[in-house]
Chains A and B, each alone.
Chain A
Amino acid sequence: MSWQTVVGLEIHAQMATRSKMFCSCRRETGVDPNHNICPVCSGWPGALPVINEAAVRYAIRAAICLDCTIQRESRFDRKNYFYPDLPKGYQISQFYRPYALGGAISFEREDATAGRLPLVRIHMEEDAGKTIHSADGTSRIDLNRCSSPLLEIVTEPLEMSGIEAASCVRSLRDLLRWVGVTDGDMEKGNLRCDVNVSVRPDASAELGTRTELKNLNSFVSIQRSVEVESKRQIEVLEKGGTIRQETRLWDQDLEVTEEMRSKEDSPDYRYFPEPDLPVVVIEQQDIDRERQSLPELPAERFRRLVDDLGLDPKEASPILARRENCDFFFALLEAGLSAASASNWFRGEVLRHLNDRSERIDQYPLAAEAIASVVKAVEEDRISVGKGREILQQALDEQRDPSEILSESGEQISDHSALVGWVTSVMSENPGAVNKIKSGDSKPMGFLMGQLMKASGGQAHPRLAQELLQKMIEQD
């Protein structure tokens, strides 16, 4: 029997606001524990939450990008449960009346067709703190993260593979990061994902019983946990068993899912409207203002790259992974490069440098103009491609301006008599290689070219030199 896997996602994205959801504490991690706390986020008696307007603006932005229907009135509710890193004994969330309904995540199917994962809702809420367990058995609470603003994005269930589920989250992450709503860093926990998985015999059958996999913190975990969990469910069903609705934990080392708690054991959160906060009113003008302040979205940029600039869609994707990357690409165009060469050099060199150096583009020391000057030198045949790459690498290594290195290094020599001189000397010094080529073995050609470039101090025009070498050997 062929089974179909159905996946629904609940994604928590920490909003990249300056302060927390309900107080003016800085939303930053990487400082000493309990450094950014105040009576409000630590739940002191008498303290009251005040909605961070920036967080609401960010939330509106996300809803616009995801094509949701923004509700004019929404409301916060209390989700009550006891946990050491939840100092108030409840989390302020939006349960009954979330601020955004509907919408969808666009993603790429495995067969490269366009997929669309519909959303149920998005709501705003606050994050919990962190419990740090020490080896000596003591536990400590760090409230720095407590009350950081979160968006919870809940999708409908949709038939998809593990790879596609991960692709959905990646696509959502890229989009939200593009518009500055979140840093979207799964490793740092500011993007987290719960996955609901069920299987059914075919697309016409009713949805099967789902299990929920909690707190997946990488794209690989999302992909693999869906694959492993759907396989587990299929095996159970094929043996005549039934799936219980439950929450399961993903063990990424063993690549198995384990039962955490059944539906019956799930806590009763006793939601009720948060009496300390007024109704959130979002007027059309608030939405319009956010819409106007949005940067050009990836879909529009994609269209420009592919339709207007003629790039292959496969080339366009890496350029569009982050808005800053794309901005850099456009800066290369502005500096006078053609789309094709900007794409080649950006993907071939810039992205490779970033990868080597584990940097983001905003930390990249080379300016687009400087890179463009080197690329132009290559395109005008003043230096070789290899030399161009070398200059960029040298600029990075020595923290220098590439155009300076370019001007220091001699330009390519195309002068015929100079080339003839180098060819003649290389041929006379390597008669054995010349003879091999003459007898039909072209292998030593590379060796001779290497010798020639060395003799010219790297300045011989490689293509012209090779053509001349070829011709002179034939005529020898």
Chain B
Amino acid sequence: MSSPQQYPPREATVQEALQWISDGRCSSHDLVSRYLDFLETEGKELGAVVETFETEALAAAKLSDKRREQSELLGPLDGIPFTAKMNITTAVGTTDASSSMLVGFKAGEDATVVRRLLAGGAVLVGKTSCDEFAMGATNETSCHGVVANPWDRSRVPGGSSGGAAALAGSHGWAFHLGSDTGGSIRLPAAFCSATGFKPTWGRVSRRGLIAFGSSLDQIGPIARDASDCALVLDCIEGADPLDSTSLHQLDESRDPIEKVALVSEGFGPGIDDSIREAVRAAAEQMEQHGVEITEVSLPQLHAANACYQVIATAEASSNLARYDGIHVGNRVAADDLQLLYEKSRRAGFGVEVRRRILLGTFVLSAGYRDAYYSRAQAVRDLIREGVDHALEQVDALLLPVSPFAPFPIGERIDDPIALYACDILTVTANLAGVPALALPCGFDEAGLPIGMQLMGARGSDRRLLQLGQQWQQWTAHHRDLPVGSPS
């Protein structure tokens, strides 16, 4: 195959890259091959990529080019490279959730989302690093090492889908599957200046997602813009007979969003000034384009993080019980069963995972359950009601993703409370099961990315993405690449 004269610009979205391919300016094989080079060099330097599948990916790209020649494309993403987070199963490679417990684990089958993307012709190029079992906000708990923020390599990329966001923040052409339990798509997207979308709970099948907090977990895309996210959602959403919590009826409304409310609690004390200003400025821009902006108070937000910590850890303590050294998971040999459990789990789980398992076990224990787990469930109901009520008045809620900018690696990792503070503005969407979209909305004085999030009612995923697309037509924050990126 002759090498092409040129490639799409580095920041090009999936749709722009597709345009290049369909114009014949480059082939899918060219694109995938060049993207693999990026993964092998910068991707690995950032610590974002754990595995690449060069042979399989190049073969798949070649097939895609052949289909394109014969006008037999499998779908709108045919020929486009994508990665999956290490907690999403793939038939090729390993799926270890970035945990020593599962290092080397071959799932042997594709998650439903991966299966659907492959069936649509998309090309799986690699697996991305994440926090161990998706537990973390900084991508510092991965057994594959720390991931660096492409905007400042001394800083964290956010977590848990840190690898995916670091890639999306520094290069276009591709999209990345992440998962979001309490902000794990949106926080790293905001920290790395990428666009990340957490769909309505149940809209996307969880089959093949290594469970953390099942009632909160949701797979979603991280990409360059909302338009690409919508394209990915089209392919991966919908009922799955292998996930009985997947939704059978999706709201297909595409009525444009007319009313957006700023959530006061997202602009209060504890939120960086530059972040408050950037998100307010974004609201003003929307207003200039005819979106009605109001403000609403959601006092339940103050209880959201505590509620989240109880429910997420309770479910995690149960979901991670299967890694017992007997069935799946690495075993440390011992003379008796109890020791085998203890040694295997101590060796396999990192500090943060162990902390959450212990906390989750505690909140479900007899004598404590009522004070913690049951109360958290009641608070969750109140939060859901509060969000639902607010979204009866307006079409979407607007608030920052993170209260602060990406911070230096190592700064918070030994301070769980400071670490959990990263999630205060994101967990509400998971508790309420509503969709939430993180969009880049500028940079602070240090040049670090700022993200804002839009939350909509359950099922309004498409309307939310549509507003995101519009906003990204009015602005160009999402086009920026880290200074010094090779072109």
Residues of chain A at the chain B interface (Cβ within 8 Å): 39, 42-51, 78, 80, 82, 84, 87-90, 141, 268, 270-272, 275-278
CB B134 to nearest CB in A, in angstroms, measures 12
State whether A45 touches B107 (Cβ < 8 A): yes
Q: A80 contacts which chain B residues (CB < 8 A)?
A: 317-318, 321, 364
Looking across the interface, which residue of chain A has its beta carbon closest to that of B109?
A: A39
State whether A272 touches B318 (Cβ < 8 A): yes
Instruction: Given the known inter-chain contacts A46-B89, A50-B241, please indicate yes or no for A270 contacting B207, CB distance below 8 A.
Output: no
The contact of A45 among B89, B244, B365, by CB within 8 Å, is B89
Q: Taking the complex as formed, is B366 at the interface, i.e. its CB lies under 8 A from any CB of chain A?
A: yes
Instruction: Given the known inter-chain contacts A51-B244, A275-B215, A278-B245, please indicate yes or no for A46 contacting B315, CB distance below 8 A.
Output: no
Query: What count of chain B residues pass the 8 Å CB interface test?
Result: 43
CB contacts between A and B, total, < 8 Å: 98
Q: A48 contacts which chain B residues (CB < 8 A)?
A: 206-207, 242-245
State whether B244 touches A43 (Cβ < 8 A): no
The contact of A268 among B102, B215, B318, B366, by CB within 8 Å, is B366
23 A–B pairs (Cβ distance < 8 Å), ordered by A: A42-B327, A43-B327, A45-B89, A45-B95, A45-B97, A45-B102, A46-B107, A46-B111, A46-B207, A50-B243, A80-B364, A84-B324, A84-B337, A89-B320, A141-B326, A270-B317, A270-B365, A271-B364, A272-B364, A275-B213, A275-B214, A276-B244, A278-B244
Bound CA span A270–B363, Å: 9
Q: B158 contacts which chain A residues (CB < 8 A)?
A: none
Looking across the interface, which residue of chain A has its beta carbon closest to that of B97?
A: A45
State whether B322 touches A45 (Cβ < 8 A): yes
CB A298 to nearest CB in B, in angstroms, measures 36
Q: A51 contacts which chain B residues (CB < 8 A)?
A: 244
Q: Taking the complex as formed, is B208 at the interface, i.e. its CB lies under 8 A from any CB of chain A?
A: yes
The contact of B318 among A46, A50, A89, by CB within 8 Å, is A89
Q: A44 contacts which chain B residues (CB < 8 A)?
A: 107, 328
Per the 8 Å Cβ criterion, residues 317-335 of B in contact with A are: 317-318, 320-322, 324, 326-328
Q: Taking the complex as formed, is B13 at the interface, i.e. its CB lies under 8 A from any CB of chain A?
A: no
Residues of chain B at the chain A interface (Cβ within 8 Å): 88-89, 95, 97, 102, 105, 107-109, 111, 206-211, 213-215, 241-245, 314-315, 317-318, 320-322, 324, 326-328, 337, 341, 361, 364-366, 369, 373
Q: B314 contacts which chain A residues (CB < 8 A)?
A: 272
The contact of A87 among B318, B322, B337, by CB within 8 Å, is B322
Bound CA span A276–B208, Å: 13
CB A140 to nearest CB in B, in angstroms, measures 11
Bound CA span A84–B331, Å: 13
> Other than the known A42-B327, A43-B327, A89-B320, what 9 A-B pairs have Cβ atoms closer than 8 Å?
A42-B328, A46-B211, A48-B207, A48-B243, A49-B244, A87-B327, A89-B318, A90-B321, A272-B314
CB A401 to nearest CB in B, in angstroms, measures 50
Looking across the interface, which residue of chain B has its beta carbon closest to that of A47?
A: B207
A48, A271, A276 interface centre (most CB from chain B within 10 Å): A48
CB B331 to nearest CB in A, in angstroms, measures 12
State whether A89 touches B321 (Cβ < 8 A): yes
Bound CA span A47–B112, Å: 10
Bound CA span A85–B89, Å: 24
CB B201 to nearest CB in A, in angstroms, measures 10
State whether A88 touches B322 (Cβ < 8 A): yes
State whether B341 touches A82 (Cβ < 8 A): yes
CB B208 to nearest CB in A, in angstroms, measures 4
Q: A46 contacts which chain B residues (CB < 8 A)?
A: 88-89, 95, 107, 111, 207-211
Chain B: interface secondary structure? Answer: loop
Looking across the interface, which residue of chain B has its beta carbon closest to that of A23?
A: B242
Chain A: interface secondary structure? Answer: loop
Q: B207 contacts which chain A residues (CB < 8 A)?
A: 46-48
Looking across the interface, which residue of chain A has its beta carbon closest to that of B213?
A: A275
Looking across the interface, which residue of chain A has its beta carbon closest to that of B217?
A: A275
State whether B244 touches A50 (Cβ < 8 A): yes
Q: B88 contacts which chain A residues (CB < 8 A)?
A: 46
CB A261 to nearest CB in B, in angstroms, measures 15
State whether B328 touches A43 (Cβ < 8 A): yes
Bound CA span A270–B358, Å: 13
Bound CA span A272–B107, Å: 27
Bound CA span A46–B134, Å: 13
Instruction: Given the known inter-chain contacts A48-B242, A50-B241, A50-B242, please indicate yes or no for A270 contacting B364, CB distance below 8 A.
Output: yes
Looking across the interface, which residue of chain B has its beta carbon closest to that of A43?
A: B322
The contact of B211 among A45, A84, A272, by CB within 8 Å, is A45
Instruction: Given the known inter-chain contacts A45-B211, A80-B364, A82-B341, please indicate yes or no for A90 contacting B318, CB distance below 8 A.
Output: yes
State whether B318 touches A78 (Cβ < 8 A): yes
Enumerate the 8 nearest inter-chain pairs by beta-carbon distance, A residue then B residue, closest first. A89-B321, A275-B215, A270-B364, A275-B214, A46-B208, A45-B210, A87-B327, A46-B89
Q: B211 contacts which chain A residues (CB < 8 A)?
A: 45-46, 276
State whether A45 touches B364 (Cβ < 8 A): no
Q: A270 contacts which chain B residues (CB < 8 A)?
A: 317-318, 361, 364-366, 369
CB B70 to nearest CB in A, in angstroms, measures 35
Bound CA span A117–B360, Å: 40
CB A394 to nearest CB in B, in angstroms, measures 56
State whether B324 touches A275 (Cβ < 8 A): no
CB A22 to nearest CB in B, in angstroms, measures 9
Q: B320 contacts which chain A residues (CB < 8 A)?
A: 89
State whether A82 touches B321 (Cβ < 8 A): yes
Bound CA span A328–B282, Å: 81
CB B211 to nearest CB in A, in angstroms, measures 7
Q: B324 contacts which chain A residues (CB < 8 A)?
A: 82, 84, 89
Q: A141 contacts which chain B residues (CB < 8 A)?
A: 326-327
Looking across the interface, which residue of chain A has its beta carbon closest to that of B362?
A: A270
Looking across the interface, which residue of chain B has its beta carbon closest to that of A42?
A: B327
CB A96 to nearest CB in B, in angstroms, measures 11
Bound CA span A411–B373, Å: 83
Bound CA span A45–B314, Å: 17
Instruction: Given the known inter-chain contacts A44-B328, A46-B207, please indicate yes or no for A272 contacting B373, CB distance below 8 A.
Output: yes
A49, A51, A84 interface centre (most CB from chain B within 10 Å): A84
State whether A275 touches B107 (Cβ < 8 A): no
Q: B326 contacts which chain A residues (CB < 8 A)?
A: 84, 87, 141
Bound CA span A78–B319, Å: 10
Q: B373 contacts which chain A residues (CB < 8 A)?
A: 272
Looking across the interface, which residue of chain B has its beta carbon closest to that of A143?
A: B327
Looking across the interface, which residue of chain A has its beta carbon closest to that of B110?
A: A46
CB B170 to nearest CB in A, in angstroms, measures 28
CB B228 to nearest CB in A, in angstroms, measures 25
B95, B364, B369, B373 interface centre (most CB from chain A within 10 Å): B364
Bound CA span A45–B111, Å: 11
Q: B364 contacts which chain A residues (CB < 8 A)?
A: 80, 270-272
B88, B97, B328 interface centre (most CB from chain A within 10 Å): B328
CB A95 to nearest CB in B, in angstroms, measures 12
Q: A277 contacts which chain B residues (CB < 8 A)?
A: 244-245
Q: B245 contacts which chain A residues (CB < 8 A)?
A: 48, 275-278
Bound CA span A46–B179, Å: 13
Bound CA span A278–B246, Å: 9
Looking across the interface, which residue of chain A has its beta carbon closest to that of B367?
A: A268
Q: B213 contacts which chain A residues (CB < 8 A)?
A: 275
Q: B109 contacts which chain A residues (CB < 8 A)?
A: 39
State whether A89 touches B322 (Cβ < 8 A): yes
CB A399 to nearest CB in B, in angstroms, measures 47
Q: B321 contacts which chain A residues (CB < 8 A)?
A: 80, 82, 88-90
A46, A47, A271, A272 interface centre (most CB from chain B within 10 Å): A46
